[in-house]
Amino acid sequence: MDFTLLFISIIVFLFILIIKSRSKLDIPGPRGIPVFGNLLQLGKKPHETMLKLYLKYGNVFSLRFGAIDTVILSEPEIIKQAFMQHGDVFNPRFVRKSRKATSNEMNLASSNGEYWKTVRGLVAGDLTASKLKQFETQIQEESDLLCQYFKDISGQCEQPHTFLKMYSLNNVLRFTFSLHYPYDSNSLSVDIIKNIHDYFITVGQAFPQDYIPILYPFFKNSPKKYFDSYNNLFNYIQSVLKDKESTFDKSNPKDLMETLIVAFDKLGLPQSGVSPTCLDILVAGADTTSYSLIFLLMEMLNNPNIQDKLHSELAANFSLSQEISYKDRSKTPYLNACLKEIQRLYPTAPLGVPHITSKDIEFCGYKIPKDTQVLVNIYGTHRSPKIWDQPLLYKPTRFLSEHSQENNSKICIFGFGSRNCVGFNLAEQELYIVAAKLFRRFQFKRPLEALIDTSTDFGLTLGAKDYKCIIEKRIV
Q: Per CB under 6 A, does 349 bind ligand HEM?
A: yes
Q: Per CB under 6 A, does 421 bind ligand HEM?
A: yes
Q: Which member of 120, 445, 468, 474 binds ligand HEM (CB under 6 A)? A: 120
Q: Which member of 368, 427, 433, 460 binds ligand HEM (CB under 6 A)? A: 427
Instruction: State the nearest-atom distance from the C-beta of 263 to ligand HEM, in Å.
Output: 16
For ligand HEM, which stretch binds (CB under 6 A), given 191-199, 297-305, 306-314, 348-356?
348-356
Instruction: State the nearest-atom distance from the C-beta of 12 to ligand HEM, in Å.
Output: 40
* Cβ closest to ligand HEM, residue 307 vs residue 425: 425
For ligand HEM, which stretch binds (CB under 6 A), given 235-243, 308-316, 407-415, 468-476?
407-415
* Cβ closest to ligand HEM, residue 212 vs residue 427: 427
Binding mask 264-303 for ligand HEM (x = CB under 6 A): ----------------xx--xx--xx--x-----------
Cis peptide before 223 (omega within 30 of 0): yes
Long-range contacts of 258-267 (CB under 8 A, 24+ apart): 259/122, 259/125, 259/126, 260/119, 260/122, 260/123, 263/122, 267/118
Q: Per CB under 6 A, does 414 bind ligand HEM?
A: yes
What does each C-alpha distance from 116 to 16, 93, 106, 310 come to in angstroms? 36, 10, 8, 41
CA atoms of 274 and 103, how far apart (whole Å)? 11
Q: Which member of 109, 164, 274, 462 binds ligand HEM (CB under 6 A)? A: 109
CA atoms of 190 and 466, how far apart (whole Å)? 16
Residues that contact ligand HEM, how many (by CB under 6 A): 26
Q: Which member of 62, 348, 372, 429 binds ligand HEM (CB under 6 A)? A: 348
Instruction: Please name which of 420, 459, 381 lies closest in space to residue 90, comparing C-alpha atoms.
Output: 420
Q: Per CB under 6 A, does 169 bind ligand HEM?
A: no
Q: Per CB under 6 A, does 70 bind ligand HEM?
A: no
Beta-carbon contacts of residue 246 (< 8 Å; ≥ 6 apart): none
Instruction: State the nearest-atom distance from the C-beta of 35 to ligand HEM, in Å.
Output: 28
412 is in an annotated binding site: no
Binding site feature residues for heme: 421
Binding site feature residues: 421
Residues that bind ligand HEM (CB under 6 A): 93, 108-109, 120, 172, 280-281, 284-285, 288-289, 292, 348-349, 352-353, 413-415, 419-423, 426-427
